[in-house]
Amino acid sequence: MQIILGSQSPRRRELMAGLDLPFTAITIDADETYPAELQAGDIPYYISRVKARAYESQLTDDQLLITADTIVWLEGRMLGKPHNEAEALAMLKQLRNKTHQVYTAVTLAQKGREPETFVDCTDVTFGDLTDEEIAHYVHTYRPLDKAGAYGVQEWIGYVACIGMKGSYFNVMGFPVHLVYQALKKRGF
Amino acid sequence: MQIILGSQSPRRRELMAGLDLPFTAITIDADETYPAELQAGDIPYYISRVKARAYESQLTDDQLLITADTIVWLEGRMLGKPHNEAEALAMLKQLRNKTHQVYTAVTLAQKGREPETFVDCTDVTFGDLTDEEIAHYVHTYRPLDKAGAYGVQEWIGYVACIGMKGSYFNVMGFPVHLVYQALKKRGF
């Protein structure tokens, strides 16, 4: 059996590599729009399944596909990937001094089998950040590819993340312990 | 001002580097025995200060020394670094299916100033691990230099760590957000 990780995120590839199981990483292009009525964890649930469906038909009998999607959820609203530096600055100003949720969904797909999806949630508390600190981070690290405009394994995670409840790896990329358990159940 | 990190831990050096502040890393040899009556966070508190004292007299006016110590605390007992593979296996068998505490103390020392020490605690919950999984980890990763016989950023952290409350970085090396705040207060 061959594991295919359908994600271009270097963090997810790093987590997957840490499981000591051989895998191939690919990039899947999928439409990430979702029904407006979806809330919180239902959003990445939906998108991770869309990503799996976009590649599913190409799977052979001996392949398992893993897709994932992460969102940041702040007080009833979703923060996606910022479109530009101004949006990134604004997102981080919203996140400081508050607790938000990071939801990551993972979908496992095999040929001729209904895809399996699970969602993990981590509470992340940000302490205070000055406007200057936020500007330093955005200009130096350019977090435009990251939900909520931050990477927890980067400078801003080091200085701002004052508390967490749940899985750190879920915030970094995906809930690797759940991926491992699901792969184990399938005989990997 | 020059920052000196008195630790040979690659994880602490990585966290320190992530703060984007120049620093020098050195190794400090200190006697890590501690008074038997000490409990929980008081143990790394004591040891991080011993480490600072062992180098303090060599500090010049423009240097700040950072030392740290981490212990794993399980149901009223300390797990230190295992002396051999058998001890590492035994420690991990004790940790599975339980929540333990990781205490890290950090001491900042400057010439002519009383050392400042703070302690951070993170609750870490391990899920189930088979004897085979524990043996795989110990033989492959040889965690003999790690308190509690595990590195949270390694395979075992990925598969076993099912929940955490507090700072992940505190478990990985030291509470980098508190180090940052302390440095900021001192004008770095």
Chain A environment of B164 (Cβ under 8 Å): 164-168
Q: Which string of DSSP letters, residue by residue, matches A79-101?
A: E---SSHHHHHHHHHHHTTSEEE
The answer to whether the Cβ–Cβ distance between B158 and A180 falls below 8 Å is yes
Question: What pLDDT score does A74 carry?
Answer: 98
Question: What pLDDT score does A70 carry?
Answer: 95
Question: Which residues of chain A fall below pLDDT 70?
Answer: none
- Among B128, B137, B168, the residue to mutate for chain A (most A Cβ within 10 A): B168
As a whole number, mean pLDDT of residues B148-177 equals: 96
Question: What pLDDT score does A35 carry?
Answer: 97
A14: exposed, middle or buried (C-beta count within 10 Å: 0-12, 13-18, 19+)?
A: middle
pLDDT tens digits, residue range A108-157?
999 999 999 999 999 999 999 999 999 999 999 999 999 999 999 999 99
From A64, A20, A71, A6, select the one nearest A186 (Cα to Cα).
A64
What CATH number has the domain spanning B2-185?
Answer: 3.90.950.10
Q: Which 8-state DSSP code applies to residue A108? A: E
Average pLDDT, rounded, for chain B? 96
Question: What pLDDT score does B114 carry?
Answer: 95
Model confidence band, residue B35 (pLDDT cutoffs 50, 70, 90):
very high
Q: Is this complex's ipTM strictly greater than 0.95?
A: no
pTM of the model: 0.92
- Among B159, B167, B181, B185, the residue to mutate for chain A (most A Cβ within 10 A): B159
As a whole number, mean pLDDT of residues B104-123 equals: 97
In chain B, where does DSSP find H-type helix? 10-17, 42-56, 85-95, 131-141, 155-160, 168-172, 176-185
Question: What pLDDT score does A36 carry?
Answer: 96
Question: What pLDDT score does B105 carry?
Answer: 98
Cβ neighbours for A188, distance < 8 A, ≥ 6 positions apart: A1, A3, A21, A64
